[in-house]
Amino acid sequence: MEICIVSGARPNFIKVAPLIRRMDNLRQSGSSIRYSLVYTGCKNDPTLEGTLFDDLSIHRPDVYLGADCESLNELTGQVMSRFEVYLQQYPTDAVVVVDDLASTMATAIVTKKQGILLAHIAAGTRSFDINMPKEINRLVIDGLSDLLFTAGISNNSIANREGAELSKVYMVGNILIDNLRFCRQRFEDAGKDLVKSPTFPTIKDGKYLVLTLNRKQLLANEEKMEALLQAIDAEATSMGTTVIAPLRSRAQETVAQIASKRNLKALRLTRPLDYLEFGFLTAHAHGIITDSGNVAEEATFNGVPCITLNSYTEHIETVKVGTNVLVGENPDLLQTTLSDLLQDKWKKAAIPERWDGRTAERIVSTIIDQIQKQEEA
C-alpha cells in the first residue's frame, strides 16, 4: 500500500506532520502501509528552517520536485510535468494533498489524469471570491478529489452544496490541533530558552501581543499598512503593552520601514521564530493580531483572543465558536476591538467540534479503507 503525501509550502508540512506520525506508528505495529513525502519546491528553500522537521517529529522530504518561479501559471506547469514523472517512476495507490496552493492544484490534476485515488485535506474551504487565485484552486481540487476531508460542519455544507457526493465528504476535524496537542510540552520547553534569550524582548505571561502578517495584497498597500500599524501602536502604547512581531521576509521589511518612519513605540520586531518557539509565544500572549487563518485556529484552541485583519475567514468556526473577531482592514474598528481585548472585554469562546487531536487517525483510517476497497473491486 503506497501513499504519496504532497507538500507545497512550509504550512503544508505542519498539516501533514500528524499523518506521517500516524503512519509511522502503524508501520511500527506491523502495518504494510508505506508513504513518500514529496515537496514541490527546492531543497534549499529558505522558508524551511533547519529545525522544522525535528520540531514536528517527521523526516525531511523523500523527493524534491524543485519547482521555483514567481509566475503561478509557470509554477503550475513545472509541478505538473515533474509530478507526472514521479508517478510514472513510483507506483502509488493514493495521493494526499493539503490546502489550496497552485502546486496543490497541479498535483491534483496529474493524480486524476493517472487514475489514482486523490484525498484533499482542508476541503470545503471557500472565500466566495472568484477573483482570488486560491479560490479557483479550491474549486478544482475539491472537484477532482475522491476523498474530501473537512475541518468543520460549515465546510461539509459547502462541499455538499457544490455537488460532492455525501459518501466522499468526511468531517474529520482540524488537523492543526493534532500538532498542538502532540507538541504541548515541547512548546513549553522551547519557550524556556526563548524567555532566557538576551536578544529577544522581555516577555511576561499574558502581558504582550503578537502580530503576524503574511498576506501579499495587504502588505503591498503601504497607506493601509501605515494606518493599521499606527492604530495598533496607539492602543498598545496607551495600555503599556508590547507588540511582538516575529515576521518573515517581505513582511519584516515592510513593517520595519513603517515603524521607523512613524516612530512606532510599542512594536518589537524580532527574528522569525521556529515552529515550537512561535507556538509558545502565541499560546501565552494576551492577544494576537493576524491575517492568517491558521494562526486564528491555533488561538481558538489556546483560548487566546484573536483579531483578524480581514473581512472574511475560511475558518468560520473560529468566529462563531472560537476567540476570533474579524475587523477587515479598518483602522478605527481595529483600534476599538484592540481596546476591548486589552481591557479583557472579550467574548466567551469554546473549542469547535472534533478538535480532539484524532484528525490524522480518522484520515489515515479512511484512506486505508478506500485503497482496500479498490483492491477488492
Q: Which residue has the cell 468531517?
A: 171
Contact status, residue 323 vs residue 303, Cβ threshold 8 Å: yes
Looking at residue 156, its pLDDT comes to: 59
377 residues of the chain, pLDDT tens digit each: 999 999 999 999 999 999 999 999 999 999 999 999 999 999 999 889 889 999 999 999 999 999 998 899 999 999 999 999 999 999 999 999 999 999 999 999 999 999 999 999 999 887 777 877 788 999 999 999 999 999 877 665 666 566 667 778 999 999 999 999 999 999 999 998 888 887 787 787 788 999 999 988 899 999 999 999 999 999 999 999 999 999 988 899 999 999 999 999 999 999 999 999 999 999 999 999 999 999 999 999 999 999 999 998 888 899 999 999 999 999 999 999 999 999 999 999 999 988 999 999 999 999 999 999 988 87
Q: How far apart are CA 263 and CA 53, in angstroms?
A: 38
E strands, the chain, where?
2-7, 34-39, 63-64, 94-98, 117-121, 147-150, 169-171, 208-211, 242-245, 267-269, 287-290, 306-308, 324-326
**How do beta strands 267-269 and 287-290 pair?**
unpaired
Of 72, 133, 128, 124, nearest to 103 (Cα)?
72
Which pLDDT score is estimated for 99?
92
SS3 220: coil
**Residue/partner pairs of 215-219 with CB below 8 Å, 24 or more apart:** 215/291, 215/309, 215/310, 216/250, 218/291, 218/309, 218/329, 219/250, 219/251, 219/254
274 DSSP assignment: -
Specify the pLDDT at position 315: 85
Q: Find the helix or strand (DSSP H, E) in which 278 lies.
A: helix 275-283
Using left for φ > 0, alpha for ψ between -120 and 50, and beta otherwise, residue 30 falls in: left
Q: What is the pLDDT of residue 158?
A: 63
* Sheet of strand 117-121, all strands in order from the earlier edge strand to the far edge: 63-64, 34-39, 2-7, 94-98, 117-121, 147-150, 169-171
Domains defined for the chain, CATH in brackets: 2-173+356-376 (3.40.50.2000), 183-342 (3.40.50.2000)
**Residue in the block written with cell 511500527:** 28
What are the counts of helices (DSSP H) followed by strands (DSSP E) for the chain? 16, 13
Q: Structure pTM?
A: 0.91
